[in-house]
Structure 1
Amino acid sequence: MNLLCPFWINKIPRLRTDSPSALSLADLLYCNVEDPNEVWTHVILGGYVIDVEWLFRVSGPLLMSKCTIVLISGEKGFLHKYRHLVLHDRFGRNRVKIVEPCLPIPFGVHHSKMMLCINNNGIRVAVLTANFIEDDWNYKTQGIYFQDFPRLKTQSENIVLNISSIEGKGMRFRNEIKRYLSCIGVASSMPKDGCIPLSLLDEFDFSGACVELIASVPGYHRCSDAQHYGLGKLKSILQSMQLPSSLDRNPPVLTWQFTSQGLLTANFLNSMKQIMSIDARNPTGEDKMDPVVRVVYPTETEVKNSLEGWRGGLSLPVTLRCCHSYINERLFRWGTVPQGSEVENERSKGLPHLKTYTRLTESEDGLSWFLLTSANLSRAAWGEWQHGGTQLLIRSYELGVLYDETSFLHVKEDGLFSVTPSRPVPIPSSADGDGLVRVTIKADTCKKDGGGAALFLPYNPLTLQPYVSTVQIQERRTNALAERSKSPLSTTDVPWVVDVPHHGEDRFGKEFHDVLSGDNPCKEYLHASHRLSRSNSQIRKKRMKYDN
């Protein structure tokens, strides 16, 4: 039986080979506006940066329907900017609501990417890694989780369905959505201007939810409250999974794939490693056996040769000051050549904007779990423990989903349920040449290859290609002679760092300084990234003290 996880990637128009697992934003926002049951009544879209004019240009149903639209933005002054658009006059005051979430802790941002679309058939829930801007959807590699959920049947129609919807993953999924929407000021249990009623979410049957939601919300989260967010939530989920322990007591193998990192500390890195190492034998993650960590991050050459050329590096805002030796010694390339092939994977030309964290099975032939999220490797995103681990400080809003071996779609004989039956979204799969790799999630280490729930990923966490310098560093650790020689590390693979000089022409014949000085289509994203960089600088200058 082919068990498939609800994971898709974005459709990149410039790639020669399309993938059945590739979706456009228009695919996700489509509805038949002539069908009263299918036309959207409410649409909630959240992102770090939103290009409103492009958003409505690619999604005709949003323009043609009369649905209430809520836009959640992390861009400061977004409401003021929107009011100066022609669309503001067209929609009037009540059609589109703008929400700029409260940021109670200095230097935090709203970084989540999500979508909720409601009609008379049910609700579509999507957790994304793409902002609502053209560059993110058409040129970069993104991850997409979404599921459609039907409306609850009345008690007289099916009492069993009502009971199942409030148990297990479905109940947790619904509660996490309600909690998160309340925190960002989009939903409320009391009548409130610009908010949808929380009770609206009780009208849907979430019993088919395949994943666990992991949100980060700014604040000082104490005691049991810390279990709801960031590192605390991840820890709680992994403890409840009771993953089988390594039979041979081998160290856990983790992959971290992100597009930016903050100022890292040893305590934060230890927290990440410990929590991601949790299994049945090591329920706290504090086992003295240090995990193997592999960091997937693009090289300077990969940026230069990408679909965007040098410009693509502007949305990989890692600065020299934020580089950390622990990460630098564990780097693996983003793009790899498929095994047995001499042809480069064209899909890897779309630079990553998705963020994924995984744990491999003991035999490294599959995944124990897989996490898709907006959260980069930073304390602001994941949080940092204070006061002996009783308080979790989080600065930013983030949203992600965790897949395990039970995270597969339940496809019935008449197909997968869709809230847009006139154009249902295709089930994930792969085609020759699309650059996707089939990887399975199987918590049971005794399962043979091929078992478990399948993901079609844009990179292969099982066969990563290390930087040449990573190989050299590993050899030094195991070879005393190599350690004594101290020969210079290879510069064949240089990790992309945005604020150092970059030389040579990209695939468009442009130098990096041309990109910085020219008219940049992703200028708003670049400005937002610079604000983050300045915030990090301010944190450093103020010498803010963190208790760990």
Structure 2
Amino acid sequence: MSQDSQHGKWTISDSDDDNDEALPPSGTRQSNPDQPAASSHSPRRSTSPPVPKLEPASAPVEVKAEPAQPSVSSLAIGSEARQLAAKNLLNPVKYETSPSLAGKRKKEVSDGSGWALSDSDDDDGDVKANSVSNLPKKVSPAPKAKKAKVEDERPPSPHGRTYYIDEPEDFFESSIPCLNDTYRFYLNKVTGLDRKYNNGALHIKDILSPLFGTLKESVQFNYCFDIPWMVNQFPPEFRDLPVLIVHGDKREAKARLLKQAQPFPHVRFCQAKLDIAFGTHHTKMMLLWYEEGFRVVILTSNLIRADWYQKTQGMWMSPLFPLLTKGSSESAGESPTFFKRDLLEYLASYRAQELEEWIQRIKEHDLSETRVYLLGSTPGRYVGADMERWGHLRLRKLLHDHTEPIPGEERWPVIGQFSSIGSMGLDKTKWLAGEFQRTLTTLGKSSLRSDTPVHLLFPSVDDVRTSLEGYPAGGSLPYSLQTAQKQLWLHSYFHRWNANTTGRSHAMPHIKTYMRASPDFTELAWFVVTSSNLSKAAWGALEKSNTQVMVRSYELGVLYLPSAFGMKTFPVLKDPFPVSSSSSGFPVPFDLPPVCYSPKDEPWIWNIPYNQAPDTHGNIWVPS
């Protein structure tokens, strides 16, 4: 059935599945916190004439031919749903002048059916691998669809052998960040943008470049891996150095991951313990050990090509930490933010022998230059003082201890931006406007708990459709119908992903950020970049009359507080491109003020069809 709403018409399953996050249809990505963008189109070719050419998001770029057959690794990344999605990249569905589902949708709306809401009150987690809605694969075309004007040209499809385009020759030119770089916060490079919008941004090849240090060994913490691609990102002189992969895959997914690494004997593995159902190892971090010292990179990108291609990602890169002198005390090399202590505590939470040598190495280095606070989540149920070690209660504790109340703070909005949304209950008080909002509005010892404005940035269907990737960008925005239909109240919070002034509007976000801004959006009280999406699994949820907090997943981010930088607030950098390292303004990665959804906007739902209009590559989105 389907239902009209303030955000358009959604096709709804007749399934009685009560789980919050069902497995998407064959050809879509699994409803996990984040996965690579992939087309979920059924293999069907259009026989109708081409539609009018859309305005391209960027200047045409030469297409690079991929191998005729995709590599094993590209089809064996992560879940079964991801494998199916990768295979279906080879067979996009072209927009037809009579969209195949339009007639069915209109007919179903007329029957007056309501939402197919689940009777379950289960709000657990973001990931539940069950079968999904019975979305149709083939239906008859609408009888009276309006024919479009014919044009001869159309931008090339981003699928299959022509999915990736060549980066410009200077795309991977590396440069060491300036020593006076205030925040050490960077965006990723995006293929297809004007060069100035990549100025100061970093690609993974830049991060691993010898310009940053003479690498000896590294650890890669992440959620999703393409091992052959990852190995190829290292420069030739570092390509055979030891790499430890920290992951959360189990059973078949683990077997596929190990198979990917068989040609690379220098790659070893450490499996994160996930003792609570539906949790994931979602942390994204690099530990880089050099001849010259040690570095930490905390980021939002998976180790797959799609995440470094045409998405907006963010990262914090530490300074190069020097080796301490022999005989230094255990407390030596600590930062004012206690970053060293907290990083060691986070690594110890894995209880993994493979990380012991890295814990020892970190103890031997001087991390005192760090000016950010570590903000982590690890799976478990915590009581007493341990409740403030992880998740959003950790953020609340830091904001309480290291910020000060601000005059008129009730008018300072909270802004959250993310790429995935979990189940938060049938009304806003269950979690979002209750415990989580209390955390986000904490400023020092202020007892003010007013109804602070909350703006949530999440791409609309039109944002995805007109993006550089087109509809496949929605494969990395897994907000499922099964979750959305249970929390329609959430959609009144939604604002558009908008980055026009930065020139990055069309690079869909996979970055996750949270911040508190002044009413005129010229100052920040604090800023977070993290792997944590908007979910209880990532941030934790209170239990047992608020005497216990339960966290499902591993997550990691950093918190920027003005006090650690000798400021009262962070000034907002109005135009962060090209990046100026010496600027005191914080480079917020989207436009301010946020723009609320219009009545015509609807949030991207990744496991329903979108066939009313073609994307920037002339394709439609039809889960099969």
Aligned-pair CA distance for 1:30: 1.7
Change (3 A) 1:128 1:317: same
Give me the whole-angstrom Cα distance separating, in 2, the residues matched to 1:511 and 1:64.
39
Q: Does structure 1 conserve the Cα–Cα contact (< 8 Å) formed by 2:335 and 2:371?
A: no
Give 2:418's aligned residue.
258
Give 1:455's aligned residue.
586
Q: Deviation digits for residues 269-309 of structure 1, max 9, x if unmatched?
A: 111111111123525xxx34111001111110110111111
Change (3 A) 1:354 1:365: same
Give me the whole-angstrom Cα distance separating, in 2, the residues matched to 1:393 and 1:107.
12
Q: Does structure 1 conserve the Cα–Cα contact (< 8 Å) formed by 2:411 and 2:453?
A: yes
Change (3 A) 1:378 1:198: same
Verify: 1:144 aligned to 2:315, yes or no.
yes
Q: Does structure 2 conserve the Cα–Cα contact (< 8 Å) formed by 1:309 and 1:506?
A: yes
Report the residue type matching 2:493 in the other structure.
Answer: R
Verify: 1:168 aligned to 2:342, yes or no.
no
Greater Cα offset, 289-298 or 13-22: 13-22
Aligned-pair CA distance for 1:242: 2.9
Verify: 1:234 aligned to 2:398, yes or no.
no
Give me the whole-angstrom Cα distance separating, in 1, the residues matched to 2:211 and 2:523.
40
Report the residue type matching 1:464 in the other structure.
Answer: P
Q: Does structure 2 conserve the Cα–Cα contact (< 8 Å) formed by 1:113 and 1:129?
A: yes
Verify: 1:48 aligned to 2:223, yes or no.
yes
Q: Does structure 2 conserve the Cα–Cα contact (< 8 Å) formed by 1:126 and 1:145?
A: yes
Give me the whole-angstrom Cα distance separating, in 1, the residues matched to 2:391 and 2:202.
28
Verify: 1:385 aligned to 2:385, yes or no.
no
Give me the whole-angstrom Cα distance separating, in 1, the residues matched to 2:453 and 2:445.
17
Report the residue type matching 1:40 in the other structure.
Answer: L
* Mapping for residues 180-259 of structure 1, pairs under 5 Å: 180-186=346-352, 192=353, 195-246=356-407, 248=408, 250-259=410-419
Give 1:349's aligned residue.
506
Report the residue type matching 2:336 in the other structure.
Answer: G
Give 2:184's aligned residue.
6
Change (3 A) 1:201 1:395: same
Q: Secondary structure at the residue paired with 2:549?
A: strand
Q: Does structure 2 conserve the Cα–Cα contact (< 8 Å) formed by 1:255 and 1:294?
A: yes
Q: Which residue, out of 72, 75, 78, partners 2:246?
A: 72
Aligned-pair CA distance for 1:196: 2.2
Greater Cα offset, 386-395 or 231-240: 386-395
Q: Which residue, out of 435, 446, 449, partners 1:271?
A: 435
* Mapping for residues 15-54 of structure 1, pairs under 5 Å: 15-18=193-196, 19-31=198-210, 38-54=213-229
Give me the whole-angstrom Cα distance separating, in 2, the residues matched to 1:232 and 1:12.
34
Verify: 1:328 aligned to 2:491, yes or no.
yes
Q: Which residue, out of 101, 124, 147, partners 2:272?
A: 101
Verify: 1:88 aligned to 2:262, yes or no.
yes
Report the residue type matching 1:24 in the other structure.
Answer: H
- Higher helix fraction (1 or 2): 1
Aligned-pair CA distance for 1:401: 0.6
Q: Secondary structure at the residue paired with 1:457?
A: coil
Aligned-pair CA distance for 1:253: 0.9
Give me the whole-angstrom Cα distance separating, in 2, the residues matched to 1:366 and 1:90.
48
Q: Does structure 2 conserve the Cα–Cα contact (< 8 Å) formed by 1:39 and 1:65?
A: no
Report the residue type matching 1:182 in the other structure.
Answer: A
Give me the whole-angstrom Cα distance separating, in 1, the residues matched to 2:409 and 2:348.
43
TM-score of the two chains, using structure 2 as the length reference: 0.64
Verify: 1:117 aligned to 2:297, yes or no.
no
Aligned-pair CA distance for 1:46: 1.1
Report the residue type matching 1:312 in the other structure.
Answer: A
Change (3 A) 1:147 1:366: same
Aligned-pair CA distance for 1:164: 6.4
What is the identity percentage for the equivalent residue pairs of Structure 1 and Structure 2? Answer: 28
Q: Does structure 1 conserve the Cα–Cα contact (< 8 Å) formed by 2:336 and 2:371?
A: no
Give me the whole-angstrom Cα distance separating, in 2, the residues matched to 1:15 and 1:234.
35
Q: Does structure 2 conserve the Cα–Cα contact (< 8 Å) formed by 1:108 and 1:396?
A: yes
Q: Which residue, out of 513, 516, 521, partners 1:359?
A: 516
Give me the whole-angstrom Cα distance separating, in 2, the residues matched to 1:510 and 1:368.
42
Q: Does structure 2 conserve the Cα–Cα contact (< 8 Å) formed by 1:149 and 1:205?
A: no
Q: Does structure 2 conserve the Cα–Cα contact (< 8 Å) formed by 1:71 and 1:97?
A: yes
Change (3 A) 1:120 1:506: same
Give 1:466's aligned residue.
596
Give me the whole-angstrom Cα distance separating, in 2, the residues matched to 1:385 and 1:299.
31
TM-score of the two chains, using structure 1 as the length reference: 0.73
Give 2:602's aligned residue.
494
Q: Deviation digits for residues 163-185 of structure 1, max 9, x if unmatched?
A: 7623521xx21122112222234
Aligned-pair CA distance for 1:96: 1.9
Give 1:60's aligned residue.
235
Change (3 A) 1:288 1:402: closer
Aligned length: 432
Report the residue type matching 1:495 in the other structure.
Answer: P
Give me the whole-angstrom Cα distance separating, in 1, the residues matched to 2:579 and 2:446.
30
Q: Deviation digits for residues 41-68 of structure 1, max 9, x if unmatched?
A: 22011111011111112222575443x2
Give me the whole-angstrom Cα distance separating, in 2, the residues matched to 1:61 and 1:237.
42
Q: Does structure 2 conserve the Cα–Cα contact (< 8 Å) formed by 1:356 and 1:373?
A: yes
Give me the whole-angstrom Cα distance separating, in 2, the residues matched to 1:259 and 1:439.
27
Q: Secondary structure at the residue paired with 1:23?
A: coil
Give me the whole-angstrom Cα distance separating, in 1, the residues matched to 2:220 and 2:397.
28
Runs of 4+ aligned structure 1 residues displaced above 4 Å come to 161-164, 406-409, 429-432, 434-440
Change (3 A) 1:500 1:180: same
Verify: 1:398 aligned to 2:555, yes or no.
yes
Change (3 A) 1:21 1:437: closer
Q: Secondary structure at the residue paired with 1:455?
A: coil
Give me the whole-angstrom Cα distance separating, in 2, the residues matched to 1:331 and 1:438.
31
Verify: 1:280 aligned to 2:444, yes or no.
yes
Give me the whole-angstrom Cα distance separating, in 2, the residues matched to 1:204 and 1:174.
9
Change (3 A) 1:498 1:62: farther
Q: Deviation digits for residues 135-163 of structure 1, max 9, x if unmatched?
A: 1111100011011233244269xx8x997
Give me the whole-angstrom Cα distance separating, in 1, the residues matched to 2:604 and 2:595.
16
Report the residue type matching 2:317 in the other structure.
Answer: F
Q: Deviation digits for residues 470-500 of structure 1, max 9, x if unmatched?
A: xxxxxxxxxxxxxxxxxxxx22x11111123
Aligned-pair CA distance for 1:348: 1.4
Q: Does structure 2 conserve the Cα–Cα contact (< 8 Å) formed by 1:348 and 1:435?
A: no
Change (3 A) 1:256 1:32: closer
Q: Secondary structure at the residue paired with 2:376?
A: strand
Change (3 A) 1:408 1:164: farther
Change (3 A) 1:436 1:395: farther
Q: Deviation digits for residues 326-376 of structure 1, max 9, x if unmatched?
A: 4211221102544xxxxxx64111100011111013553211000111111
Give me the whole-angstrom Cα distance separating, in 2, the residues matched to 1:456 and 1:166.
27
Q: Which residue, out of 329, 333, 344, partners 1:178?
A: 344
Change (3 A) 1:193 1:17: closer
